[in-house]
């Protein structure tokens, strides 16, 4: 999850940003502040990925806040004044949202911030991998994933969800199915859909072009059917 805080001395504007954050998958609202000094103290004690901040605020304005965040979170300015745009981009903020802004504009800013975050994080294809396990970053931790315990993997834009055996909680990591395909042993795993990779050794039931894992049905995409059928033919009695 991406940890986010919002700062605005206008309660209604702050509430709107908080609602946008809460309705967006993969964003976690870590805090919302009307006082930028309190936000600065909070950010100094907690890991924050993205900050949405107004500019004109009492005590500490958004520009001063951003300058104080050395090697800190990615900043997105939210303001009713165009005159600060140049100053914002000098500070290398991710985006500059002019109030009132729509949810679509908010998402565009988030995607820019995510690209900036990825550019400084160690990508998943640089971590250790072999024929028995790999390491994935998840929730600011590094987790060992044993191949034999994986049922299937789901791709979600810039993220993947690894579903282990005997657990309803997947491991979420900033990566892609394309990257994982290069790390997974091809004799044990196969991509069967643009959004799914399955553990071939865990397949128990196939129902009308769908692989069944308990209550979950994994569709077999048209472009992957021939390859999957070849696998079945090799192992068909």
Residue 18 token pair: 């908080």
Q: What is the pTM of this model?
A: 0.51
CA–CA separation, 62 and 102 (whole Å): 21
Domain covering 2-120: architecture: 3-Layer(aba) Sandwich (3.40)
Whole-angstrom CA distances from 28 to 53, 107, 219 are: 16, 14, 30
According to CATH, the topology of domain 124-234 is OB fold (Dihydrolipoamide Acetyltransferase, E2P) (2.40.50)
Which residues of the chain are in CATH 3.40.50.2300 domains? 2-120
Q: What is the pLDDT of residue 93?
A: 84
Alpha helices in the chain (DSSP H): 11-22, 36-45, 62-68, 85-90, 103-120, 177-183, 225-234
Residues of the chain with CATH 2.40.50.1020: 124-234
Phi–psi pair at 93, nearest 5 degrees: -75, 160
pLDDT band at 127 (very low <50, low <70, confident <90, very high): very low
Q: Tell me how far apart the terminal alpha carbons of the chain are, to the nearest angstrom.
A: 45
Kindly report which listed range (41-55, 96-110, 117-131, 146-160) carries the lowest average pLDDT score: 117-131
The average pLDDT across 8-33 equals: 95
């Amino acid at each position: 999850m991406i940890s986010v805080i919002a700062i605005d001395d206008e309660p209604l504007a702050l509430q709107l940003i908080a609602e946008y954050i809460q309705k967006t998958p993969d964003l976690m609202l870590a805090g919302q502040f009307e006082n930028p000094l309190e936000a600065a103290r909070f950010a100094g004690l907690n890991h924050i990925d993205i900050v949405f901040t107004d500019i004109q605020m009492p005590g500490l304005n958004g520009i001063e806040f951003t300058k104080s965040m050395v090697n800190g979170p990615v900043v997105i300015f939210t303001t009713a004044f165009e005159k600060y745009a140049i100053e914002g981009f000098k500070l290398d903020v991710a985006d500059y949202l002019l109030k009132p802004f729509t949810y679509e504009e908010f998402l565009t800013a988030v995607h820019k911030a995510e690209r900036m975050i990825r550019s400084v994080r160690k990508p998943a294809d640089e971590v250790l991998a072999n024929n028995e396990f790999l390491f994935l970053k998840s929730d600011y931790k590094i987790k060992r994933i044993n191949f034999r315990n994986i049922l299937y993997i789901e791709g979600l834009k810039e993220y993947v969800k690894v579903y282990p055996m005997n657990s309803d909680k997947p491991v979420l990591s900033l990566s892609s199915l394309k990257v994982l395909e290069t790390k997974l042993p091809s004799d044990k795993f196969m991509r069967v859909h643009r959004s799914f990779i399955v553990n071939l050794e865990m397949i128990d039931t196939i129902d009308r072009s769908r692989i069944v894992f308990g209550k979950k049905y994994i569709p077999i995409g048209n472009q992957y059917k021939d390859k999957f059928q070849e696998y079945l033919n090799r192992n068909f009695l």
